[in-house]
Amino acid sequence: MRTAPTILHLDMDAFYASAEQAAKPSLRGKAVVVGGLGPRGVVATASYEARKFGVHSAMPMGQARRLVPNAAYLVPRFALYRAISDQVMALLRELSPLVEPLSLDEAFVDLEAGGVADDQASALAVGERLRADIKAVTGLAGSVGLAASKMLAKIASEEAKPDGLRLIVPGTERDLLGPLSVRILPGVGPATGDHLRRGGITTVGEIAEAGEDELVRLLGKSHGSALYAMALARDERPVVAERESKSVSVEDTYDADIHDRVRVRGEVARLADRCVERLRAAGHSGRTIVLKVRRFDFSTLTRSETLRGPTDDPGVVREAAARLLESVDTTGGVRLLGVGVTGLADYTQEDLFAQAQAQALALAEGPEQREGEAAPEGVAAETVEEPAEEVPLVLRRWSAGHDVRHARFGHGWVQGSGLGRVTVRFETPGSAPGRVRTFRVDDAELVPAEPLPLVTPPGEEG
């Protein structure tokens, strides 16, 4: 392992929610939750204001609403997040040719390979400069961890949150890791954590004390040996430059076998939604849907279905995964479920009829899908009843948080819709909190718009 803390881990703080707060002046300093807003939606990111109430990523959206009913609930705007991510990754590549993105908002950087740092002082200087550059270019905050290995750099960035920098001095790693939960180590999820707990091991220090043989007995040769090495702060994994993904997938292993067929269907639907979140975060769509099922006897089955064209529509992926499940016998119980997408592309070719049906259903749901339609205290809401040309409702879907432009009122974003009305707040990243107005959903002067940049480029002010 290195003797200097020249591996950097960057993690943007509450990325989606922070981007929405930066884009929407009326939401700054308030609880914001981004994710799927439907009945099976889950939280993708929550602002720090929402986290104070217990909201966290992967939480069912219904539970989040019960914890913070007055938060702003928004659907993701991946075009905006990708644009910001491209800016951040460009800054990282100025530091080193070895940049390993983990997601839109997270990456490792080998500073030594870039020749910009070779000791503690130079690494600290690079980290501070990077944080300042990210804030200047994007307006957002990122937390930076510096250490001699990838595992420790990631732990350091987590401890630096929010909007901070943490450097782990080489030689102090064992003392730092010892009292921490085993869940801090890569590869230790809920199932492995519970398995270790049943063996009397709850901290990283206890893993080191147990010894490699005991870890191998509990977890098997590969996993046990790797975990023991990490508990001793040994991590030789190199930073690997970005490689093109061939597939995107998610899977869950369950502590107890699932026997209820209804629950199995629900888990598959949830996994499909998570898979699409990752697919969109990577900027891809995919043509082939894959279902993985490991049964009670450890036999593993995979089923796949190839669509007519690539998609990143959660409804399409969910329905395909459900169809694949119908061909799998789950009698006896299920230990693991997974949903994946292969045949990746950077464009979509949707089934327009199915898409129109989904939009019509969303509009028909009316009040159940309305988000934030009442104006906050102190802000007047105005209803604009102007004649509009007849536009079939199925062609219009106003998702909470998405950008719109009105011919008279300019740029704004959707606060909510339902019962044939759409509520819009007119403001931009550089404006004061804007006014709320309500329109018919088929108002001809109201159209979808592209996200505005969070920071005005030099020379374009005014």
Q: What is the pLDDT of residues 371-429, one digit of tens each?
A: 333 333 333 333 333 333 333 333 457 889 999 999 999 999 999 988 899 999 999 99
Range with the poorest average pLDDT among 134-143, 288-297, 336-345, 351-360: 351-360
What tens digit of pLDDT does each residue of 165-221 get? Answer: 999 999 999 999 999 999 888 878 787 888 899 989 999 999 999 999 999 998 888
Determine the topology of domain 247-350 in CATH. Answer: Dna Ligase; domain 1 (3.30.1490)
Greater model confidence, 50 or 379:
50
In the CATH hierarchy, which top-level class contains the domain 175-231?
Answer: mainly alpha
CB 202 within 8 A of CB 210: no
Contacts of 454 (CB under 8 A, 6+ apart): 19, 22, 23, 84, 138, 139, 140, 429
Contacts of 364 (CB under 8 A, 6+ apart): none
pLDDT of amino acid 380: 33
CB 424 within 8 A of CB 415: yes
Long-range CB pairs of 105-109 (<8 Å, 24+ gap) are: 105/11, 105/12, 105/15, 105/81, 105/142, 106/9, 106/10, 106/11, 106/12, 107/9, 107/10, 108/7, 108/8, 108/9, 108/150, 108/153, 108/154, 108/239, 109/7, 109/8, 109/9, 109/10, 109/239
What is the four-CA torsion angle of 16, 452, 366, 312, rounded to 10 degrees?
A: -60
Cα separation of 434 and 234, whole Å? Answer: 53
Q: Of 271-275, 346-350, 367-371, which one has max mean pLDDT? A: 271-275
Q: What is the 3-state secondary structure (H, E, C) of the chain?
A: CCCCCCEEEEEECCHHHHHHHHHCHHHCCCCEEEECCCCCCEEEEECHHHHCCCCCCCCEHHHHHHHCCCCEEECCCHHHHHHHHHHHHHHHHHHCCCEEEEECCEEEEEHHHHCCCCCHHHHHHHHHHHHHHHHHHHCCCEEEEEECCHHHHHHHHHHHCCCCEEECCCCCHHHHHCCCEHHHCCCCCHHHHHHHHHCCCCEHHHHHHHCHHHHHHHHCHHHHHHHHHHHCCCCCCCCCCCCCCCEEEEEEEEEEEECCHHHHHHHHHHHHHHHHHHHHHCCCEEEEEEEEEEECCCCEEEEEEEEEEEECCHHHHHHHHHHHHCCCCCCCCEEEEEEEEEEEECCCCCCHHHHHHHHHHHHHCHHHHCCCCCCCCCCCEEECCCCCCCCCHHHCCCCCCCEEEECCCEEEEEEEEECCEEEEEECCCCCCCCEEEEEECCCCCEEECCCCCCCCCCCCCC
Greater model confidence, 386 or 30:
30
What tens digit of pLDDT does each residue of 314-331 get? Answer: 889 999 999 999 989 898
In this prediction, residues 434-453 reach a mean pLDDT of 94
Q: Of 36-45, 166-175, 184-193, 236-245, which one has max mean pLDDT? A: 166-175
pLDDT of amino acid 58: 83
Query: What does the domain layout of the chain look like in residue ranges?
Result: 1-170, 175-231, 247-350, 358-448
Residues 161, 162, 167: CA angle, nearest 5 degrees: 40
Catalytic residues: 106
pLDDT of 129 higher than 50: yes
Q: Of 33-47, 282-296, 404-418, which one has max mean pLDDT? A: 404-418
CB 26 within 8 A of CB 425: yes
pLDDT of amino acid 52: 96
* Residue 67 buriedness (CB in 10 A; 0-12 / 13-18 / 19+): middle
pLDDT of amino acid 200: 92
Share of the chain above pLDDT 70, in %: 86
Contacts of 151 (CB under 8 A, 6+ apart): 185, 186, 230, 233, 235, 237
What tens digit of pLDDT does each residue of 355-365 get? Answer: 334 433 444 44
pLDDT of 352 higher than 70: no
pTM of the model: 0.70
pLDDT of amino acid 166: 97
Share of the chain above pLDDT 90, in %: 60
The model's confidence at residue 67, banded by pLDDT at 50, 70 and 90, is: very high
In the CATH hierarchy, which top-level class contains the domain 1-170?
Answer: alpha beta
Range with the poorest average pLDDT among 131-140, 153-162, 222-231: 222-231
pLDDT of 349 higher than 90: no
Average confidence score pLDDT of the chain: 85
Cα separation of 173 and 393, whole Å? Answer: 60
